[in-house]
Amino acid sequence: MLRTLRILPRLALMYLRSQLEYRGAFWIDRVAQVITYASSFAVIWILADRFGTIAGWNWSELALLFSFHLLGYSLGACMSFTQMRQLEEAVRLGTLDTLLTKPISPWAYMVFSGLNPGYTGHALLGIVMMGWALSIVAVPWSIGWVAYFLASLISAAMVTGAVLTMIGATALIWTRSNHLYSLFFGFWELSRYPINIFPTAIQATMLSFVPLGFMAAVPVAVLLGKPVPILGDWAGPAALLAGPFFVALAMWQWRYALDRYQGAGG
């Protein structure tokens, strides 16, 4: 009797956890995202309002940084995040096996059969915010500046997509990957602040292994003519090259992982 009573809450908890693994997690993430955006934006606003600037960035510059981050993220994530998060399940249930018997890239199939309309909202929010930020920031308008702006935004989206894809692809070898996404979102949180506010170790990490510095902090600093730690004068070209570089790395890793793919068994 006592034993049964002890097992019941455990069972309930396990069921809850298994539910959260799937559908529940999706909606919780969506709600969490909205709350995160609102609260981080509020924090930036409060800090900037109080101190005038954060690490040399004023309020409108921070708004540009924030919107660049949001837009680049939604462009990259709509091509990767929800699809690659399903990869773990596709491995476990064998749906990936069936994709591999078709004359099509399983990556392309997954990404395009899972394009998430949920990101249109993010992107619109990013665009509106960016338009407003651009109207109040002192911008050295020129054709070159606009071209760099667009190219570095695309590069930022590529970095985002590549990192999210590389995380998902680890499921091809380890059959699990989703626990690593929480690691990503830890750094993702940091990546919408100016990179010079962090200790050097974190700066170095965000410019190498976890290259989320290229999602916004580096390109927007270049666009606004602000100094970038570690990279210095190389920041401009680095922000443009980061996207193609990490996409190439992700493609290589995908092939590597597919060659070692074993299925989930049974």
Partner 1 sequence: MAQIIEARAVSKRFRQHRRFPGFLGALKTLVTAEYTEIEAVTDVSFAIAQGEAVGYLGPNGAGKSTMIKMMTGILVPSAGDLTVLGRVPHRERQANAREIGVVFGQRSQLWWDLPVRDSFELHREIYGIPRPRFDENLKSLSSLLDLEPFLERAVRQLSLGQRMRAEIVMALLHDPKILFLDEPTIGLDVVAKDAVRKFLSRVNRERGTTIILTTHDLQDIEEICPRLIMVDHSRLIFDGETAKLRTALGSARRLMLEFAADPGPLELKSARLTSDDGLRKHYLLERDDISLVHVLDEIGDTTALKDISIEEPNIEEVIRTFYQRRNAELPPR
Ligand X SMILES: Nc1ncnc2c1ncn2[C@@H]1O[C@H](COP(=O)(O)OP(=O)(O)O)[C@@H](O)[C@H]1O
Q: Which stretch binds partner 1 (CB under 8 A): 2-10, 120-128, 239-247, 256-264?
A: 256-264
Q: Of 60 and 105, which CB lies nearer to partner 1 in the complex structure?
A: 105
Structure tokens of 168? 């998902």
100 lines the binding site for partner 1 (CB under 8 A): yes
C-alpha span between 192 and 40 (Å, rounded): 9
According to DSSP, residue 116 is labeled -
Phi and psi (nearest 5°) for 226?
Answer: -100, 155
Residue 253: contacted member of partner 1, ligand X, none (CB under 5 to 8 Å, by partner type): none
Report yes or no: 235 and 207 within 8 Å, Cβ to Cβ: no
How many whole angstroms from its chain centre is CA 147?
A: 23
262 lines the binding site for partner 1 (CB under 8 A): yes
93 lines the binding site for partner 1 (CB under 8 A): yes
Structure tokens of 21? 């693994």
94 lines the binding site for ligand X (CB under 6 A): no
Phi and psi (nearest 5°) for 231?
Answer: -75, -35
Q: Of 117 and 265, which CB lies nearer to ligand X in the complex structure?
A: 265
- Of residues 155 through 184, those in contact with partner 1 by CB under 8 A are 170, 174, 176, 179-180
In 170-210, which residue ranges form alpha helices assigned H by DSSP? Answer: 171-174, 181-190, 200-206
Build a one-symbol-per-residue string for 203-242: x at contacts with ligand X by CB under 6 A, - elsewhere: ----------------------------------------
Residue 264: contacted member of ligand X, partner 1, none (CB under 5 to 8 Å, by partner type): ligand X
| Cα R_g (the chain), whole angstroms | 21
C-alpha span between 250 and 157 (Å, rounded): 14
103 lines the binding site for ligand X (CB under 6 A): no
SS3 90: helix
Contacts of residue 168, defined as CB under 8 A and 6 or more positions apart, other chains included, come to 80, 83, 84, 85, 87, 88, 177
Residue 136: contacted member of partner 1, ligand X, none (CB under 5 to 8 Å, by partner type): none
Of 24, 56, 94, 227, the residue at the interface with partner 1 (CB under 8 A) is: 94
Q: Of 82 and 170, which CB lies nearer to partner 1 in the complex structure?
A: 170
Residue 98: contacted member of partner 1, ligand X, none (CB under 5 to 8 Å, by partner type): partner 1
- For residue 96, the minimal CB distance to ligand X (Å) is 11
Contacts of residue 102, defined as CB under 8 A and 6 or more positions apart, other chains included, come to 109
Q: Of 61 and 88, which CB lies nearer to ligand X in the complex structure?
A: 88
- Of residues 237 through 266, those in contact with ligand X by CB under 6 A are 262-266
Task: List interacting residues with ligand X (CB under 6 A).
Answer: 262-266
